[in-house]
Structures are given as C-alpha cells and as structure tokens.
Amino acid sequence: MTDILIIGGGVIGLATAIALSQKGANVTIVERGNCGKGATWAAAGMLAPEAEKLEGSLLEFGLRSREMYPKWIANLMRLSGQDCGYWCCGIIAPVLSESDCLALSQHPKYINKSQSHQYQSGLGESILGSLWLPEDGQVNNRKLAQALIAAARSLSIKILEGVTVYEIARDRDRVTHLETSAGRLQSDHYILATGAWTRSLLPLPINPIKGQMLSVFDRDRKLQRVIYAPSCYIVPRQDGSIVIGATVEDRGFAEGNTAAGIAQLLNNAISVYPAIADMPITETWWGFRPHAPSEVPLLGASDYKNLILATGHYRNGILFAPITAKLLTDFIVDGKTDPSFQFLKR
C-alpha cells in the first residue's frame, strides 16, 4: 500500500486524502492548526464557474468539477453521515447599466428586468437585467469541511492537527522527509496543499489575496438564489443566514476586518438586495485566497519526483475540490493524466 503524506488540511488536502484512501492508499494529513479552518472556512461556498467567468481550460475544469458535485457530496454524506448544505439554487448575475444590458441582450442566459424580478423577488431597482445561471449553485463550505473531516476519519486517514511542517527536506530530486513540530515524518509520496501559505515551504509563486466577509440573518428566508453582482455577492443559506462577500485585497497576511471593507460590502449588497438593510449582522471574518499566476492552480508534478503540488486554487477552491482530488488520485495511483488540462504538470 502506498504511503502518502499530505501537508495542509483544507478542502484540497482533505478531498485528495479521501479520494486516495478510497483507492487503497495509506494517507496521513499534517495540519498546523485545525483542519478546514483556513480559506476553506472563510469562503462563501459558491459553485460558480459561469458567474466567475472562468475561461478556456479553467472553465472546463470548473464545469467538470461542478458536474461531479452531486455524486461527490453523496459519497461524503454516506461516509460522514453529515449534511453539507449543497444547494443547486442557481445564480442571478445582475446587470447594472443600460450599455451592459444591450451588450448582453443576445446572451442565451440573459433575462430582462421583469424576468429577473420573477426569478427572485425583492431585487434592487438598480438591477436592469441579469444572467440567470441555473446550474451554478453553492455548498455550505463550513459544513463541507466538517463532513470532509468526519469522512476522512471514517476511512482511518491519520489526521495530525497542531503539527507545523517547518521544512521539506530534499536530496537531489527527491523529498527525504519533513521536519515538523512533532519531529521527522517520512513517506513514499508527499502532497503540498498549503493554500496561501505555500511559499513558506517552497519558492512557488503563490500569494495571499485577502477577502473580507460578513453574514446577516434573514428571518423571512425570501432570498432563494445566490446574487452575484459586479461588486459583491450574496449567498443565502438554507438556515436563513446570508453570506456577503468579498473584498479582494493584495495586502499580504494583514489580519482583521476594516470598517471600509465591511461598509463597501454592505453598501453594495443593500443596493442589489435592499431587505439586507434591516437584517442583523451575525458575523464578520476574513481569509486568504491562494493566488497563482494567471489564476491557474499549481497541480501535479513538482521539481521533486515524490512531491505533488495541489495549491493555488485562488477564488474557486471549493468548486475545484472534487476534480482536483480525482485528477491527483488518477495521477498518483494509476499514473494517468487528463490531456484536457495542460496545466496539470506531468
């Protein structure tokens, strides 16, 4: 049985661990904090390859992953016994100017103002039309994280929490071991799934892009679609919570919410869905997206024969988790690669 050590217990590390374990590998996850509490916890959980306007092979990657979601979630629910808040609620992407309405009027998914208001009541007057994206949706990323951890435990994946990897020790073209706060760890293969913190272990071009978020509570639960406006998104959960995001800030690992960040999100959200003005704020938080050049994840082979990369998922790591886990498992266990994805390094 192949021994695999995964550094990082976010959605990417956990999803990959589960897929590998279900193919018979013996997997250990090393996480310096608690699993699922990095970007995975901070996210909005949109499954939105279309609303995000992904292009080329990255769009294909996102569409394929979105397609995989129903079965992927069913497997997780079966293993964990937990609900993940997966909801195919569709996304409304509002258009706010006459010129944009004109430009998009021939788009097959364009709907006019009155149709937009039929798909979702209570939209702001600033919305002049929209794209209706019925196949985009959402998962509750925090529930997902909990389910992934429970599923991993059910498969006897070893999870070492509170263990920091300080160094990936190398000899020529191979990793020999990891130096960690719990001593030396050794394995046949290593997977680097450290999200925005990747550069602290290897000189790879991954940078943290901060996102501030908040949530409000909607007693009436009238919002039934994700609204993906040009300057904010609004994600209703089935329990009445509404997640509003997100700023995009290139400020390193600067922690905390700012008044300007939250004010910007609230102003934009209230203009597209005015009922938010009267809802109580329930939480504010922030997180760090792992940004890679051209926003394309670093996946597959590295400069070291037994080290696999699984990082740089930037704004769409929750969406990309199922396909990342599958491609890496095909690659490591079966030696297969998918020619559709040139960015998967062989």
Ligand X SMILES: Cc1cc2nc3c(=O)[nH]c(=O)nc-3n(C[C@H](O)[C@H](O)[C@H](O)COP(=O)(O)OP(=O)(O)OC[C@H]3O[C@@H](n4cnc5c(N)ncnc54)[C@H](O)[C@@H]3O)c2cc1C
Smallest separation, CB 77 to ligand X (Å) = 19
Cβ–Cβ under 8 Å, residues 112 and 129: yes
CB of 329 to ligand X, least distance (A): 16
Nearer to ligand X, 32 or 64 (CB): 32
Instruction: Provide, rounded to whole angstroms, the least separation between the CB of residue 248 and ligand X.
Output: 9
- Nearest distance from C-beta of residue 136 to ligand X, angstroms: 10
Residue 103 Cβ, how far from ligand X at the closest point, in Å? Answer: 26
d(CA 341, CA 338): 6
Note the residues at the interface with ligand X (CB under 6 A). 7-13, 30-33, 37-40, 42-46, 164-165, 193-197, 200-201, 211, 213, 245-246, 287-290, 311, 313-319
| Nearest to ligand X of 45, 129 (CB atom) | 45
Q: Which CB sits closer to ligand X, 70 or 121?
A: 70
Q: What are the residues whose beta carbons fall under 8 Å from the beta carbon of 183, sequence distance 6 or more?
A: none
Residue closer to ligand X by CB (options 112, 284) is 284
Report in angstroms how near the CB of residue 346 gets to ligand X at its nearest: 21
Q: How far is the CB of 315 from ligand X (least distance, A)?
A: 5
Output the smallest distance, CB 290 to ligand X, in A: 5
Q: How far is the CB of 264 from ligand X (least distance, A)?
A: 14
Three state DSSP letters for the chain: CCEEEEECCCHHHHHHHHHHHHCCCEEEEEECCCCCCCHHHHCCCEECCCCCCCCHHHHHHHHHHHHHHHHHHHHHHHHHCCCCCCECCCEEEEECCHHHHHHHCCCCCEEEHHHHHHHCCCCCCCCCEEEEECCCEECCHHHHHHHHHHHHHHCCCEEEECCCEEEEEEECCEEEEEEECCEEECCCEEEECCHHHHHHCCCCCCEEEEEEEEEEECCCCCCCCEEECCCCEEEECCCCEEEEECCCECECECCCCCHHHHHHHHHHHHHHCHHHHHCCEEEEEEEEEEECHHHCCEEEECCCCCEEEEECCHHHHHHHHHHHHHHHHHHHHHCCCCCCCCCEEC
**Closer to ligand X by Cβ: residue 91 or 95:** 91
Identify which of residues 116 and 198 has a Cβ nearer to ligand X in the complex.
198
Spatial contact of 35 and 9, defined as CB atoms under 8 Å apart: yes
Residue 123 or residue 149: which is nearer to ligand X going by CB? 149
Task: Compare residues 21 and 311 and give the one whose CB is closer to ligand X.
Answer: 311
Closest CA to 310 of 70, 9, 2: 9
- Of 129 and 326, nearer to ligand X (C-beta) is 326
